[in-house]
Chain A
C-alpha cells in the first residue's frame, strides 16, 4: 500500500476515534446532567405542590383543580395524589410519546429521572402522598438536538481536518514524489540529480542519490576524456592532428560501405612537393609549421560537415573524404582556393608545389579502385601544374534520374506503390544468441528492390527522410507483430528534428505496446551530437514505452559519452572504422576496452558494427563488447 494511502487511513482513524469518542462522552455527560436536573425539578415541584395543597381546605374540587392547574400549565407526565389507604384522589397523566427524538435514540440513551414524592397534610392528619414526574420530551429534544449539533460540528471539523490533511500530505509527499522519480531514474541507469527537499529524511536520501549520480558523472567524464585522448593519440597524426593513414583508410572503407543518406561522396588528395627542399630552406620547425597550416586548410574544408574526414596519408599526402557530397568540383575548388592562399603567404622561393587530384565515388566501389582513380587524377595534376586540380572521370553511369523533381516523383511513387521492404541483418550477443535483426530500408526503384545507399542521399536532399522513417517504423511494427522477433530500425538526424515524426512515433508505439517491447531504435552519432536536446527528449519519452534506444556509428566523439549518463540509453553501436582490423590494431583495442568499461558502468550494451571476420569477432568479445553485427556475422 502506498504511503499516501496509509497516511490517509491513519488520519481517518484518528479523526473518527477522537470525534466518535467525544460524541459518546459528551452525549452521556449531557444525559447525566439532564437526568439530575429533571430529578431536582421533580422533587422541588412535588414539594411545592404538596406545600400549597397542605395549606388548602381539602375540598375535593379545589384539590383536583390545584393539581390540574399545575399539570396543565407545566410540563408533566404524571401528577398523582394517593390517600394513605392507597386510593387515588386525583391523577393527571400525559402518556403521549416522548417524541422530540427518533425512537432508536431514545432506546439507545434512555433517561430515567427519579419521581418527586411529597406528603400532603390535612391539619395533623395525613391527607395523601403526591407523586410527580416531569415529561422527558424536552430532555430528549435537547439531547437529540445537542447531539445533532455536535455531529454537524464534527462533520465540519472532519471535513476541515481532511482538507488540511490532504494539503499536508500533498506538501509532505511532493518531495517524496521527486525522490521516487530520481530513484527510479537511477534504477533505469539515468544518473540524474535533483534539488534537495526540506524534509530531513528525504534530504539525506536525495543527497546520497545526488552524490551517487555526481560520482558516476564525474567518473564518466574522466573516463571518456581518457578514452578520447587515447583515441586521438592512436588515430591522429602527431604533427598535424589529421587522421593517420590507417584510420583514414578505415574511414574510407566505412564510407564506401555506407548505405544511408551519406552514401557516396568525394575523395581528394593533395601532395606537397619538395619537402626536402622546404626543410632545407625553412628549417625543420618552419617546415613543420607549413605542414600544420596545410592540415588546417583541410580541417577548415571539413568544417561542420558531418561524416567528412581529413587525413595525412604519408609525409606529403593530405586527403579529404567528403561523404554524401555530390559536387566534387565545388568542394575541390574551395579547398584549392584555401591552399593557394596559404601558399601565396609563404616566404619560400619558389613557392611549394601542391597539386591536387580528386574523384567522386558511389557506394560499393572498391577502395583500391577508388584510390587508383584518385592517384591517376593526382598524377595528371602533377603533370599539369604546381597548383593544378584534376578530377577523375566519373566512373559510374549517367545519373539515374535527371533532377530532384524526378527523384521526388520516383521516390514517392515507389513508397505509395510498393511501400518499404526491410532487410534483415542479425546482431548477435557475445554468447552467439540473437539480440535483434538490423532492418535497413529498401525501396522498389528502377525495376528492383534497392538498398538505402541507392536513394537515401537524394531522399535527404528532398527532405523525405521523416516520411521514409515513418514507413519503416510501421513496417517494422507489422513485422514484429507477425514474427515476434526483435528488430532494430534507424532514425535519421532529420527525423529527430521533425515534430510530426516524433508524435507519429509515440502514437504508433503507444498503440502497439506489445511490439514496442521488441523494437530497437537507433540514431546515428552525429545526429545525437547535433540535436542533443531533441535526442534527450526522445529518450525520455520512449523509455516508458518499452522500446530500446541506442546510438549507432559511434566512434568519433567519445569525450561526449559522459553526457549520456542521464538519458537511460540501452546500447551503443561502435562504428565500423573502429572495428576494422581490430585484431591487429592494439591502439584501437585500448580505446575500445576503455569504452566498454565506461559503457557498462552506465548499463549500456556495446555492439560492434561491420565485423567482417572471425578474428575481429573474437578480439571484440575479448575486449568486452557485448554484441556483434556485420558481414562476418551470421544469425544464430
Chain B
C-alpha cells in the first residue's frame, strides 16, 4: 500500500505541519512518554474525590503489585474480587447524572460506585496492567436474564471475558455474582458482541489525543481519558 511509504520529503512536510502547531508538538511529546503514572492517579483521586478515594487507589496499587507475582488465574480472581467488593453497583443516572456514562477506573474508584460498564472497564484495564495480553480479554455485551431461569425479564449487561487459549471457553468476570465462572455455567447470560482495545489502544502505545474523532466513540473516549489520568 503506497500510503504507508514514507519519503524524506513527506516527513519534512509533516514536521513543518507540526511546527505550525505547538500544541500538537506538546501533546505528541506527552503521549510519547509511555508508562503508567500511578502517583498522578493517586494525586488526582485525592484532589477530586477525597481521602477515601485515595485510599482505594492505594489499595488498588497494592493489589496490582501483589497480583503481579501470581499466575493469571489468581490475578483474575484478585481483580474481580477487588472491584466487586469495593465498588457499589449503581446506575449512571444516579452516580453521574447521565443516562449512560462510561467511567474510567479512576473515576469508578473515586466514586466508589458504577454500573456494569464501569466494572468491566476497571477490571479490563487492571488485567491489562497486570500483563494479561489484550487478545485474551474481551468486553462482551450480553443479554442478562434476571430473576431465575424461568424469568422473561432481561436487560442489557456487560461483562469481561477471559480466553486462556484462542479456542478456550471464556471465564466470565461479572459484577452480578461474586465468583468467576466459565461461560457454560452462566446460563443467564447471552453473548451479543465483543470488543477489546486491540488495534485501537494497547497499553503503552500512543495515538494522537489531538484526534477529535475519539470523543465520538464511547470506548475510544474512555481509553483517551484514562490515558490523560495517567493509566497508559
Contacts and interface: CB of A to CB of B under 8 A. Distances in A.
Interface of A: 24-25, 28, 32, 36-37, 39-40, 43, 47, 50-51, 54-55, 77, 83-85, 95, 97-98, 106-119, 121, 123-126, 129, 131, 133, 136
A188 to B, nearest CB: 56
B195 A126 contact: no
B132 to A, nearest CB: 15
Nearest to A111: B3
B150 interface: no
Contacts of B5: 107, 110
A126 B3 contact: no
B3 A110 contact: yes
Which secondary structure dominates chain B's binding surface? mixed
Nearest to A107: B7
A31 to B, nearest CB: 9
Given A40-B213, A43-B217, A97-B2, A54 B9 contact: no
B199 A106 contact: no
A167 B32 CA distance: 54
Contacts of A107: 2, 5, 7, 9-10
A77 B1 contact: yes
B152 interface: no
Contacts of B216: 40
Contact of A110 (B2, B184, B217): B2
Contacts of A84: 135, 163, 166-167
A36 B194 CA distance: 24
A98 B7 contact: no
A50 B9 contact: no
Nearest to A132: B199
A374 B217 CA distance: 131
A112 B4 contact: yes
Contacts of A116: 199
Contacts of B135: 84
Contacts of B13: 24, 28, 108-109
Choose among B1, B4, B192, B216 the residue with the greatest number of A CB atoms under 10 Å from its CB.
B1
A106 B2 contact: yes
Contact of A109 (B1, B10, B170, B211): B10
B6 A110 contact: yes
Interface in B1-57: 1-7, 9-10, 13, 16-17, 20
B133 to A, nearest CB: 12
Nearest to B163: A126
B131 interface: no
Interface string B178-217: 0000011000000111111011100000010001110011
Instruction: List the 10 shortest-distance A-B pairs measured between CB atoms, nearest first.
Output: A117-B199, A84-B166, A124-B183, A28-B17, A121-B194, A40-B213, A111-B3, A136-B3, A119-B194, A98-B2
Nearest to B12: A108
Contacts of A125: 167, 169-170
B195 A119 contact: yes
Given A113-B3, A115-B199, A117-B198, 18 more contacts: A24-B16, A28-B17, A54-B193, A77-B1, A83-B166, A98-B2, A109-B10, A109-B13, A110-B10, A112-B4, A114-B207, A119-B138, A121-B140, A121-B194, A123-B191, A124-B170, A126-B166, A126-B194
